[in-house]
Homo-oligomer: A and B are copies of this chain.
Amino acid sequence: MSAGRKAVCLLSGGLDSSTALAWARREGFDCYALSFDYGQRHRVELEAARRIAQVLGAVEHVIVRIDLAQFGGSALTADLPVPKGRSPEEMASQIPVTYVPARNTIFLAVALGWAEVLGAADLVIGVNALDYSGYPDCRPEFIEAFERLANLATKAGVEGRLRLKVHTPLIHLTKAAIVRLAAELGVDFRFTHSCYDPHPDGRPCGACDACLLRRKGFAEAGLVDPLEAAP
């Protein structure tokens, strides 16, 4: 229904952003995948993003380097330990140290810049408000505020030529529902990377928040995660 329309799709290479990209392809968007090299400790996710962009048929994939580690403040970029073995209640009750300050604000801002150059009116982001309730920038009210800003920030928005829209196809889904949607959309789970603290060879740690949520999602969806099944 949106055939031939361009969308800028944020792609970390994880399960959620890969599923969001697959969703955008099914919706008929020409997808411009955007990843960030932001000083994250686990570079394996950029390799995952490259493969996913290719197998899901993105028109183009750009990796923007921005050194957020200069500021410190997050276990994903700084030298703080990644929490392991937390319960779902613990995850939901507080903003974790793996939160990267203003990350989605920065990523969406850069996506907006690319969209403006491309003449695209659509941004796609795989945020999820349910399992990641601890992250302020994954909530619907944040996304709505960004959409409002985007329409005031850009030539196209101000001149009324484009009405910018931020699509969040996963925002109200459980992890199990995301796994099922991904399977339905044909996402190859082998290529998706979720772990915050992978082993040097890229294998997931199995104990960080992201690994635990992924495992729970597959279990509840009644599917086997090929990343866990592999020896």
Contacts and interface: CB of A to CB of B under 8 A. Distances in A.
Interface of A: 62, 64-68, 70-73, 95, 99-106, 108-110, 112-114, 116-117, 136-137, 139, 141-142, 145-146, 148-150, 152-155, 157-159
B105 A149 contact: yes
27 contacts: A62-B70, A62-B71, A64-B66, A65-B66, A66-B110, A71-B113, A71-B117, A73-B116, A73-B117, A95-B155, A99-B155, A101-B113, A101-B114, A101-B116, A102-B110, A102-B112, A102-B153, A102-B154, A103-B113, A104-B153, A109-B109, A136-B153, A139-B152, A145-B148, A145-B152, A146-B149, A148-B149
A107 to B, nearest CB: 8
Contacts of A112: 101-102, 105-106
The 5 closest A-B pairs by CB, nearest first: A102-B113, A73-B117, A101-B116, A109-B109, A101-B113
Contact of A101 (B68, B103, B117): B117
A71 B150 CA distance: 17
B153 A142 contact: yes
A152 B142 CA distance: 6
A70 B65 CA distance: 10
Which residue among A66, A73, A159 has the maximum number of chain B CB atoms within 10 Å of its CB? A66
